[in-house]
Amino acid sequence: MEPNDVMHRFKLERSGVRGGFVRLESSWAEAIRHAHYPPDPSRQLGEALAASALLAGAIKFEGRLSIHLRDAGPLKLLFAECTSAGALRGIVRTQEAAAASGPGPGFADAQLAITIENDRTQTRYQGLVAVDAGGLATSLEAYFGQSEQLPTRIVLGQHGTRCGGLIVQKVAATGGVGAGDDEDGWDRVGHLLATMSTADLLDLPVETLLYRLFHDERVRLEPGRPLAFACSCSSERVEAMLRLLGREEGEAALDANGLVEVTCEFCGRSYRLDRVDLERVFAGAAVAPAPSTPQ
Ligand SMILES: [Zn+2]
């Protein structure tokens, strides 16, 4: 059976186009397992996760790539990241009033940040783009067009138990016979992509999907790479965060039972520290407490 948490790269040799395909199922279920997101923010998160995997798959790097949208409208924050090893996680936050109702959040003065942290070179790159009315996909297309001068089309979708995405980018002609020498190739690929439904994107086997869309474009599909939900939270990180807040705030967070409980928004894992732990944290000792909900 074809895995449903996968990223494929492909080339359309006739039209000089490279692309990527992403589908998420188990990783998507895991990403929202602990949360109760309303339908529309949930769909936005699914699409953002698919987008982060598409972008991470489109570039060569070792580290993590994140998409971070902040907005003054109903959708306050949308964050998704994917590592070069295929580990995904994300969150969405809505205004309280918007969370109960179901209308699609329009964007009010939203900005999208694309951040690449490269572990190998120890560098961090961030690109910014305004979010347009078309939402995440068209904003990312604009980002590639403006910042990278790379004509790009992106389709994202989430429905039921799956989310997915498809990206195509026009690459410079290499001069080889028949490779990227088709003037109309890019336009043709755009028209073909526009015929794809969300159901096609989420349900068809990738070979079938690409053949159906691009059978005249000489598709070369690379083997799939697995994707999975994974959270990088740890007791060390929770303690580092408490240290940043300071002793006063840390002690103020103690509840009636003398415990500080910190829950990771990404995975729902809960960390509990008592007074003795706090003493150790602020004294800078290195022994870490066990998480209260081991996984
Ligand atoms: Zn976590």
Domain boundaries, the chain: 6-229, 235-283
Question: Coil, strand, or helix at residue 150?
Answer: coil
**Is residue 207 a contact partner of residue 21, using CB atoms and an 8 Å limit?**
no
Q: Evaluate whether 6-229 and 235-283 have a shared fold.
A: no
Q: Which two tokens stand for residue 149?
A: 């001068």
Distance from residue 244's CA to the centre of ligand 1 (Å) = 18
User: What sign has the CA pseudo-torsion 278, 280, 285, 287?
Assistant: negative
What pLDDT score was predicted for residue 180? 47
Distance from residue 291's CA to the centre of ligand 1 (Å) = 11
**What is the spatial distance between Cα 48 and Cα 282, in angstroms, rounded to a whole number?**
37
**Is residue 90 a contact partner of residue 45, using CB atoms and an 8 Å limit?**
yes
What pLDDT score was predicted for residue 95? 83
**What is the spatial distance between Cα 132 and Cα 146, in angstroms, rounded to a whole number?**
14
Q: What is the DSSP string of 206-263?
A: HHHHHHHHHGGG-EEEPPPEE-EE-----HHHHHHHHHHH-HHHHHHT--TTSEEEEE
Torsion of CA 277, 33, 116, 106, to 10 degrees: -120
**Strands 63-70, 111-118: pairing kind:** antiparallel
Distance from residue 82's CA to the centre of ligand 1 (Å) = 14
pTM, whole model, 2 decimals?
A: 0.88
Other CB atoms within 10 Å distance of the CB of residue 61: 17
Q: Which residues pair with 202 in a beta bridge?
A: none
Q: Which two tokens stand for residue 13?
A: 């040799």
Burial of 226 (0-12, 13-18, 19+ CB in 10 A): exposed
Distance from residue 231's CA to the centre of ligand 1 (Å) = 5
Distance from residue 195's CA to the centre of ligand 1 (Å) = 38
Q: Which two tokens stand for residue 212?
A: 């159906």
**Is residue 175 a contact partner of residue 1, using CB atoms and an 8 Å limit?**
no
Distance from residue 37's CA to the centre of ligand 1 (Å) = 17
The residue among 291, 242, 243, 244 whose CA lies nearest residue 270 is: 291
What pLDDT score was predicted for residue 106? 66
**Segments in the chain below pLDDT 70:** 1-2, 97-106, 173-183, 284-295
Query: Dihedrals φ, ψ of 10, to 5°?
Result: -150, 165
What pLDDT score was predicted for residue 166? 98
What class, spelled out in words, does domain 6-229 have in CATH? alpha beta
* Angle, CA 121 vertex, CA 117 and CA 126 arms, to 5°: 30
Distance from residue 44's CA to the centre of ligand 1 (Å) = 20
Which residues, including other chains, have CB under 8 Å from residue 190's CB and lie 6 or more apart? Answer: 153, 168
Fold of the 235-283 domain: CBS domain Like (3.90.1280)
**What is the spatial distance between Cα 169 and Cα 78, in angstroms, rounded to a whole number?**
25
Distance from residue 230's CA to the centre of ligand 1 (Å) = 8
